[in-house]
Amino acid sequence: MFLKKLVPDLHVASVYDIDLAALKRKGVKGIITDLDNTLIEWDRPDATPVLMDWLDTVKKEGFQVIVVSNNNQIRVSKFADPLGIPYIHRAKKPTRSPFREAMKRLGLAYHETVMIGDQIFTDVLGGNRLGLYTILVVPVAETDGIYTRFNRRLERLALSWMRKKGWITWED
């Protein structure tokens, strides 16, 4: 059923709340992550010091990281290039191709890869379509770009319906 593909495997407040040791125990070796409102605010160009520390920890723990974003190359490269993180821009999530390309670049299989993002209709759906372990984070900003606002309205409706069905247990 389509709606089940919108349910993440894990929901956390932020990337900082992800248990990296638990991911290692699952055999995860790579992280595909969204950028805007997942790692940093959609209108912030650079990584914060706290995020840079987290990314350093992730890499020290042996995980590979790639950013997969629907945003344009200028936006994504300004964030990723200074950090030496590979990226895929204009990804067209939730299509399968950017996730497949990310796994190919990392040299990993689906069972070795997680998808982290803040939207169920792009990040979670896209990751679930390929059988990735999906982690939904609370958006880091309370505002969104113009294209995301529409998705957020639909997302609230879908989450409400899934909560009523008992598919999710967390609160907005």
Q: How far apart are CA 145 and CA 70, in angstroms?
A: 12
**The pLDDT of residue 167:** 74
Which of 54-63, 108-117, 159-168 shows the lowest mean pLDDT across its residues?
Answer: 159-168
- The predicted pLDDT at position 81 comes to 97
Task: For tokens 């998808």, name the residue.
Answer: 115
pLDDT digits (tens, 9 = 90+) for 86-133: 999 999 999 999 999 999 999 999 999 999 999 998 999 999 999 999
Q: What is the dihedral of CA 90, 66, 9, 119, to 10 degrees?
A: -30
Per-position b or e across 76-104, b if 16+ CB within 10 A of its CB: beebbeebebebbbebebbeeebbeebbe
Q: Which residue has the higher pLDDT, 66 or 3?
A: 66
Residue 171 lies in a domain: no
Q: Can you give the pLDDT at residue 144? A: 59
Interval 1-29: pLDDT, tens: 566 888 999 999 999 999 999 999 999 99
- CATH number of the domain bearing residue 78: 3.40.50.1000
pTM over 0.75: yes
172 occurs within a structural domain: no
Which one has a higher pLDDT value, 82 or 155? 82
Q: Contact, 10 vs 116, CB < 8 A?
A: no
Whether 119 maps to a domain, the answer reads: yes
Domain count, the chain: 1
- State the pLDDT at residue 147: 63
For residue 153, tell me if it sits in a domain. Answer: yes
Instruction: Decide if pLDDT at 160 tops 90.
Output: no
Q: Which residue segment(s) compose the domain that 83 sits in?
A: 2-165
Cα dihedral 109, 110, 113, 119 sign = positive
